[in-house]
């Protein structure tokens, strides 16, 4: 899909990968609808994009709430008369496999998985009906292999990869001009390590736990060593242009992770965890 004149809806569009992708798509002539739960960053993202000439609106929404995502689609239709691409990208990170309260699992899975489900349900029927559309969803390297202390996050990202692969096959079976990709980056310099800013207030005491703080400090260091979000945004546009399913900005680490899992399944040693490799392209 070429983006000139098309309407792209981006969740988590106020920050990081979502905002960088908005800039990339705007520079290619797309109209934009940004959905985000954070109102003030959303407003400043809109101002800065408009200052660069983008046609963009913003909708405050929580992707884990189905009616918020249908309202996002309806806002795109009302403003631009169409929607052609949805980027299910909003996400949060938290939760080791051991000792994480169920309420934190529910929050992470609610945003990262229900957000994608809601995006698929809101947009795919429209795309099929108009015989044109593209669904990009944000997984992660953490959706290709288990990473210690990231249990809830890994579970959510494996689910995003599974939904995307299934969607790929189902869309192919329709024979329609509707396509899907999954984005699986390693570390990218964004505010993901400050995900707790969007946690429901009643869950925030979780962040006072010293183990949670130690894991968060570690994650912050890795994220800050990551690549720039603009590099990821360019790869997303290339994939959309060329209908490429796997978007792997850290391709080497993605393939290494997958090969090591395969070796493990064949009776070899368990994978070694190398976070430094996940910071490099
Ligand atoms: N940064 C990385 O290293 C990295 C690596 C792999 C995957 N990812 C994924 O990339 C995606 C984008 O994250 P990012 O790194 O740009 O982080 P970010 O925190 O900079 O951006 C995430 C955006 O999602 C929004 N958001 C959070 N909860 C929401 C909700 N319930 N409804 C709507 N919006 C919500 C936030 O307000 C924020 O604007 C996420 O899915 C994340 O899991 C990030």
Here the CATH number for the domain that contains residue 179 is 3.40.50.720
Residue with tokens 């288990």: 146
Question: What CA–CA distances, in Å, run from 182 to 61, 201, 208, 229, 267?
Answer: 22, 31, 34, 16, 29
Residue nearest to atom 41 of ligand 1 (CA): 91
Determine the pLDDT at residue 274.
Answer: 85
Any domain includes 241:
yes
* Mutation test residue for ligand 1: of 10, 16, 161, 225, the one with most atoms within 8 Å of CB: 16
**Neighbouring C-beta atoms of residue 247, cutoff 10 Å:** 23
Which H helix or E strand runs over 77?
Answer: helix 66-80
Tens digit of each residue's pLDDT (9 = 90 or more) over 164-214: 999 999 999 999 999 999 999 999 999 999 999 999 999 999 999 999 999
Query: Alpha-carbon distance 244 to 1, whole Å?
Result: 11
3-state helix, strand, coil in the chain (%, to 5): 55, 15, 30
Any domain includes 2:
no
Any domain includes 51:
yes
Ligand 1 center–CA 264 separation, angstroms: 31
21 lines ligand 1 (CB under 6 A): no
Kindly tell me if the per-residue pLDDT of 217 is higher than 90: yes
Q: How much of the chain, in percent, has pLDDT values that exceed 70?
A: 100
Query: Is 153 one of the annotated active-site residues of the chain?
Result: yes
Kindly tell me if the per-residue pLDDT of 122 is higher than 90: yes
Any domain includes 178:
yes
Any domain includes 182:
yes
What is the average pLDDT across 53-69?
98
Tokens coding 119? 């995006």
Ligand 1 center–CA 177 separation, angstroms: 28
Maximal C-alpha separation, the chain:
56
Tokens coding 110? 């609610």
Ligand 1 center–CA 109 separation, angstroms: 13
59 lines ligand 1 (CB under 6 A): no
Any domain includes 1:
no
Determine the pLDDT at residue 128.
Answer: 98
Q: How much of the chain, in percent, has pLDDT values that exceed 90?
A: 97
Query: Alpha-carbon distance 200 to 157, whole Å?
Result: 21
Ligand 1 center–CA 89 separation, angstroms: 6
Question: What CA–CA distances, in Å, run from 149 to 111, 157, 171, 198?
Answer: 19, 14, 35, 20
Determine the pLDDT at residue 254.
Answer: 97
Q: Domain count of the chain?
A: 1
What is the average pLDDT across 126-132?
98
Kindly tell me if the per-residue pLDDT of 241 is higher than 90: yes
Nearest Cα neighbor of 133 from 142, 125, 121, 145 is 125
Any domain includes 17:
yes
Determine the pLDDT at residue 277.
Answer: 85
CA distance from start to end of the chain: 25
11 lines ligand 1 (CB under 6 A): yes
Tens digit of each residue's pLDDT (9 = 90 or more) over 270-280: 998 888 889 98
Which residues sit opposite 28 in a β-bridge? none
What is the average pLDDT across 102-119?
98
Residue with tokens 């349900």: 121
Structural domain range at position 57: 7-191+199-279
Residue nearest to atom 1 of ligand 1 (CA): 188
Determine the pLDDT at residue 28.
Answer: 98
């Amino acid at each position: 899909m070429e983006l000139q004149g098309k309407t792209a809806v981006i969740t988590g569009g106020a920050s990081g990968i979502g905002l960088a992708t908005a800039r990339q798509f705007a520079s290619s002539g797309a109209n934009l609808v940004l959905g985000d739960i954070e109102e003030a960053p959303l407003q400043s993202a809109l101002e800065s994009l408009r200052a660069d000439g983008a046609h963009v609106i913003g909708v405050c929404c929580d992707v884990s709430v189905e009616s918020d995502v249908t309202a996002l689609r309806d806002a795109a239709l009302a403003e631009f008369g169409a929607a052609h691409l949805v980027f299910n990208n909003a996400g949060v990170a938290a939760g080791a496999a051991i000792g994480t309260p169920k309420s934190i699992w529910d929050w992470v899975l609610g945003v990262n998985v229900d957000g994608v489900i809601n995006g698929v349900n809101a947009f795919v029927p429209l795309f099929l009906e108009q015989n044109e559309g593209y669904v990009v969803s944000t997984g992660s390297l953490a959706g290709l292999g288990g990473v210690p202390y990231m249990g809830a996050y890994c579970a959510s990202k494996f689910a995003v990869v599974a939904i995307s692969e299934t969607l790929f096959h189902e869309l192919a079976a329709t024979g329609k001009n509707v396509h899907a990709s999954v984005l699986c980056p390693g570390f990218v310099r964004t505010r993901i390590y400050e995900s707790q800013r969007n946690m429901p207030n009643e869950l925030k005491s979780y962040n006072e736990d010293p183990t949670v703080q130690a894991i968060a400090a570690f994650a912050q260091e890795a994220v800050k060593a990551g690549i720039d979000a603009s590099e990821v945004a360019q790869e997303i546009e290339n994939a959309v242009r060329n209908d490429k399913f796997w978007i792997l900005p850290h391709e080497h680490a993605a393939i290494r992770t997958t090969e090591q899992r395969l070796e493990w399944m064949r009776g070899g040693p368990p994978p070694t965890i190398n976070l430094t490799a996940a910071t490099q392209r």
